[in-house]
Structure 1
């Protein structure tokens, strides 16, 4: 059975979608495995900063700003889908070629229980510095390390950093300010697995 791209990107949170878009852009630009990418790649390069700007404006929850943000996200997901189709077609199921595009691939069927992140460790360091860590999730494709400076709600736009590792250190945070942290892992089956949310007052 050939490897194919898993469409996890369709279910990411707003900030994670932007981070993932930049990942694919960075991997595909100048990639010799994909010498003739569709116009969607250039369109995504133009759209990403527009989407990030819309994300920032939507924090105020103005209905027009939120609608624009949602529209930009839908455009971004559509462009990622077009690029995923191109990568699947061009790579012909060759695993390394697909992975070089920045997309994730399916891990095959499994009868294992749904993965869970039970604990998030948040450790304060030097002033303005904090490290977050979860136990490595078996088969996880990637980890999004996230924080917000406001009490989280369903509408929260998280600051997101993507890493292949289950740990990350932030610096430059505001001393004596309270932050909320979480980790989102993308499992082998393409599921979005979210850790508990932990808050800390930064040194």
Structure 2
């Protein structure tokens, strides 16, 4: 198979008015979107907060016309924050869409076309994760060496039979891999966890189940 369609990241190269207009289009498209229901995972900025960043960015752009150093610095900071939040949304859109053009188109993001199969296949491996107790009660910490091209690491969790696919629930997506912490779990309860890399072309294979009992 070729590479599946996915969100383009070219919005980071837009000028300030273009970035603002693009961000507003994404927020409008995602608001009330049945494919991307809120609340989002904790690693993804809520739409209400993105709207606030957009408003602040627009105001900072107006104030920066005065050429005041403080106003210019504020505009740059808010531009960086807006791009960060849009990248979080882009990761989430890719995760949900899994290459489905209809879902991608509904998000407001531009997206790539499906590419022809490559003569050389690069099979993604699953993460080599080490689990340990968190310093927090009811917490688990995962550590993994980053795989080449991996964008993030997704965790699923269950207290039921891990051989039943419907028992698995999304737990978290992490963009860094040295301190992936899940908290709020029940001490003394045995959990099964599985993880997979999210690659540019989509999710990789799941690990076999890990069994862990937080204290």
What is the TM-score of this pair, normalised by structure 1?
Answer: 0.53
What is the match of residue 159 of structure 2?
Answer: 149
Name which one, 1 or 2, has greater alpha-carbon Rg.
Answer: 2
Q: 1:185 to 1:31 in 2, by over 3 A?
A: farther
Runs of 4+ residues deviating >6 angstroms: none
Whether the aligned pair in 2 keeps the contact of 1:130 and 1:169 (CA below 8 Å) is yes
- Cα distance in 2, alignment partners of residues 87 and 187 from structure 1: 18
- Cα distance in 1, alignment partners of residues 27 and 182 from structure 2: 36
Q: 1:47 to 1:183 in 2, by over 3 A?
A: closer
What is the match of residue 6 of structure 2?
Answer: 6
What is the match of residue 48 of structure 1?
Answer: 37
Whether the aligned pair in 2 keeps the contact of 1:41 and 1:79 (CA below 8 Å) is no
What is the match of residue 26 of structure 1?
Answer: none
Report the alpha carbon displacement of residue 88 of structure 1 after superposing the two structures with TM: 2.0
Where 1:143 maps in the other structure, the secondary structure is strand
Q: 1:118 to 1:50 in 2, by over 3 A?
A: closer
Where 1:183 maps in the other structure, the secondary structure is strand
What is the match of residue 83 of structure 1?
Answer: 106
Residue 155 of structure 2 is aligned to residue 133 of structure 1? no
Q: 1:118 to 1:81 in 2, by over 3 A?
A: closer
The CA RMSD measured in Å over matched residues stands at: 4.0
Report the alpha carbon displacement of residue 187 of structure 1 after superposing the two structures with TM: 1.8
Where 1:44 maps in the other structure, the secondary structure is coil
- Cα distance in 2, alignment partners of residues 189 and 46 from structure 1: 20
Whether the aligned pair in 2 keeps the contact of 1:120 and 1:133 (CA below 8 Å) is yes
Report the alpha carbon displacement of residue 110 of structure 1 after superposing the two structures with TM: 7.7
Aligned match for 1:161, one of 168, 172, 180: 172
Q: Cα deviation per residue 1:93-130 (whole Å; 9 max; x = unaligned)?
A: 8xxxxxxxxxxx99x95835302126321112333121
What is the match of residue 117 of structure 1?
Answer: 126
What is the match of residue 83 of structure 2?
Answer: none
What is the TM-score of this pair, normalised by structure 2?
Answer: 0.50
Gaps of 5+ in 1: 8-29, 53-72, 94-104
Report the alpha carbon displacement of residue 189 of structure 1 after superposing the two structures with TM: 2.8
- Cα distance in 2, alignment partners of residues 197 and 147 from structure 1: 9
Q: 1:172 to 1:182 in 2, by over 3 A?
A: same
Q: 1:50 to 1:198 in 2, by over 3 A?
A: closer
Aligned length: 140
